[in-house]
Amino acid sequence: MNDFDAEQTTENEEFERAILVGIEDLDGKGRRPMRELIELTKTAGALVVGIVNQSRNKPDHRTFIGAGKVEELKLDVLEHAADLVIFNTELSPIQNRNLVAALDQCKVLDRTELILDIFAQHARSHEGKMQVDLAQLRYSLPRLSGRGKMMDRIRGGTRGGSIGVRGPGETKIDTERRTIRRRIQRMGAELEEVRTRRGVERQSRARSGMPSVALVGYTNAGKSTLFNALAGSDEVSTRSRLFETLDPTTRRISLGEGRQCLISDTVGFIQDLPHHLVAAFGATLEELAEADLLLHVVDASDDFALEQYDAANEVVARLGAQNVLTIGVLNKVDLIAGTRQLERVDRYVPNSMAVSALTGEGIEELRQRIADLLFVHLIAVTLHIPYDHMEVVQVLHDAGMVVEATYEAEHVIVRSELDEAMVARVRDFVVSD
């Protein structure tokens, strides 16, 4: 048992006190996920008062850590007055039920429940809340019996008692399984409508000819800061917290010379992102596979940048976007300029370039790289468009394809860069290419 941040406990009695539990194999693997679990716990709003790492080759199928270790853990809970114990894995329903019964003085959560709780805290839009609720319901359905006992105990707790009980579980713990299944079915139908609507929106954007760019990457890599830098706004929250951005934001940005594109910020990824969340956010995340270009943002200053890059790539592949043209954006280089760390990450990440979204370093170069990749296939043309066909000028402007427009007496002279499909649509007005 390792104490953690013990000096903070007297000043933070209002926070729930958490003990984290993980397994390292006999080769010592498993330390990086525990570091990540610490950050997740802080993000959820709890104070880490202890860490338990057990060395064993495989988890115990009944209690994850074995009966003897469970008895030690019960003493640790009493010693540290812990409110919850968080396991650094997804517990099976049997493990969950047995641990809840054994640790009857506090809550028991696993890593998936903790992430779902963080998502529940950060969801703002109706769609985002519905996606999180659906993921929570799907996860809790096979675990109702143990969770119901845990919730009965929590109601009499002294501190906040909020982590792990936000969302639909708080008022539906004793609901029969068929009621939860009805809710899952209803939410699934609503999200299917969202999926259909987003599909129509994507088709509309494709017809307009406006290319699309999506930001992807590990949570807290700086995607939202980069989005704001490229969009020239402070619209998206950029607090340094895991999963700060859940609701996607899309804006039109200028790439110079009359070129424009749509750029979208998306939810951050994490190692072993719960499949319930990937499924629930499918209507949002499938935007990635439809994008013309991905910006894979990497926190190059992080010691585990390579592992985070690989973890995010795994989620991208699960979403079917692994073949989308991608720029590796090595962010936060202001913290590691000229170091071996930057060289190491740069060698590992293909098609990469270094930027600092915070200071603006490399942003204009990135903007130019985006333009070069998105518009390399376009044909430069000059059009003479009569004033009784001004709708054509508007279409070109809406698609971000106008380099220059000059209004003459009889027509508008438009210099533009068009793809083959758009050239075919406006061929009657083309005077040179």
The pTM for the full model equals 0.73
Q: How many structural domains does the chain have?
A: 3
Query: Residues 284, 234: one domain?
Result: yes
Residue recorded with tokens 């170091």: 339
Q: What secondary structure letter does DSSP report for 226?
A: H
**Predicted confidence (pLDDT) per residue in 228-282, tens digit:** 999 887 655 545 555 555 566 788 888 887 788 889 887 788 877 777 777 766 6
Q: Does any domain span residue 118? A: yes
Number of helical (H) and strand (E) elements in the chain, helices listed first: 17, 15
Whether 331 contacts 356, CB under 8 Å:
yes
Task: Give the pLDDT of residue 8.
Answer: 45
Residue after which a domain boundary falls, among 354, 375, 396: 375
Query: Residues 23, 127: one domain?
Result: yes
Task: Give the pLDDT of residue 258.
Answer: 73
Task: Give the pLDDT of residue 15.
Answer: 86
Task: Give the pLDDT of residue 202.
Answer: 63
Task: Give the pLDDT of residue 53.
Answer: 87
Query: Residues 301, 360: one domain?
Result: yes
Task: Give the pLDDT of residue 244.
Answer: 54
Whether 237 contacts 257, CB under 8 Å:
no
CATH of the domain at 264: 3.40.50.300
Residue after which a domain boundary falls, among 352, 375, 398: 375
Residue partners of 114: CB distance under 8 A and separation at least 6: 37, 40, 41, 44, 86, 163, 164
Task: Give the pLDDT of residue 207.
Answer: 58
Task: Give the closest residue to 84 by CA, choosing from 122, 118, 41.
Answer: 41
Task: Give the closest residue to 379 by CA, choosing from 324, 420, 330.
Answer: 420
Residue partners of 384: CB distance under 8 A and separation at least 6: 411, 412, 413, 414, 429, 431
Task: Give the pLDDT of residue 7.
Answer: 41
| DSSP character string of 161-192 | --TT--TTHHHHTTS-HHHHHHHHHHHHHHHH
Query: Residues 404, 360: one domain?
Result: no
Q: Tally the C-alpha atoms within 13 A of residue 316's C-alpha that lie toward its C-beta.
A: 27
Residue after which a domain boundary falls, among 172, 197, 223: 172
CATH of the domain at 423: 3.30.70
Count the residues in the chain.
433
Tell me the residue type at 90: E
Domain holding 151, by residue range, is 2-172
Task: Give the pLDDT of residue 11.
Answer: 46
Task: Give the pLDDT of residue 290.
Answer: 82
Query: Residues 133, 162: one domain?
Result: yes
Q: Does any domain span residue 365? A: yes
Q: Does any domain span residue 200? A: no
Residue recorded with tokens 């402007």: 397
The stretches in the chain having pLDDT less than 70 are 1-13, 26-33, 145-176, 199, 201-209, 234-248, 280-284, 286, 399-400, 433
Query: Residues 136, 257: one domain?
Result: no
Q: Does any domain span residue 184? A: no
Q: Does any domain span residue 303? A: yes
Task: Give the pLDDT of residue 5.
Answer: 47
